[in-house]
Amino acid sequence: MPAGLPAFDVNASCLSFLSALQVADSLLLSGAYRRIAIVSADLASRGLDWANPEASLIFGDGAAAAIVERGAAGRGLRTFKLATYPEGRNFCEIRAGGTQRNPRRGVVDGDFLFDMNGKAVFKLASRLMPDFLDALMDATPGGLDSIDCVVPHQASHLGMQHMAKRLGIAAGRIVDIYASHGNQVAASLPTALHEAFVDGRARAGKRLLMVGTAAGLNLGGLVWDL
């Protein structure tokens, strides 16, 4: 990258790509920039506790990038929604590394490794996601019937099944690469988006729904007119 270009982090765990898209959209519409590179990468394997299958076996390393610029009138992000529910803040976490637990204040062996309560995450997300999706679709002209393709975060096999059932749309309209890629954390959504472009489900004139969950607990989604 040439020296002097601005670069900053927009970190929302598995939903980072969506947050970055929304920030990029605002910057492009304001005229501040003409073209923006969004890079999402995670080496999950470096921080996993391999003695804990629930918190390790579903993940995969990955990296993806997108170049975005202002499109024609009427194209671009149509709807964006991000919601945080702190009651799930301890369900997916790396306890050390922040101001609460650090080497000076003392850390416990394993605090620098990722820990997850998968059942608790799934239970909370399952309870909250229906209302979240309804609100997102209510804010989208045409609602769910106007969506051509769904690009979800590849959270887990069970999570993908639940998403398909909740949306009630044909499996062919949902990008599912979990079996081959696993949960790539921040790289998950842009990698799935790439697959949608490769197989033709995402192309100019189509409307995409991108949606998922992340540590926090966060729910996020956007509707994108390509």
Catalytic machinery residues = 14, 153, 183
With beta carbons less than 8 A apart as the criterion, state whether 40 and 104 touch. no
Q: Which two tokens stand for residue 158?
A: 């069970």
Helices 118-138, 157-167: axis angle to 10 degrees equals 30
Question: Exposed, middle or buried by CB within 10 Å (0-12, 13-18, 19+), for 204?
Answer: exposed
Spatial distance between the Cα atoms of 32 and 27, rounded to a whole number of angstroms: 6
Q: Determine which helix (DSSP H) or strand (DSSP E) holds 65, and give its type and residue range.
A: strand 62-69
Q: Which two tokens stand for residue 10?
A: 């927009």
Spatial distance between the Cα atoms of 189 and 175, rounded to a whole number of angstroms: 10
Spatial distance between the Cα atoms of 28 and 67, rounded to a whole number of angstroms: 12
Task: Tell the residue number behind the tokens 């304001």, with chain if given.
Answer: 30
Cis peptide before 217 (omega within 30 of 0): yes
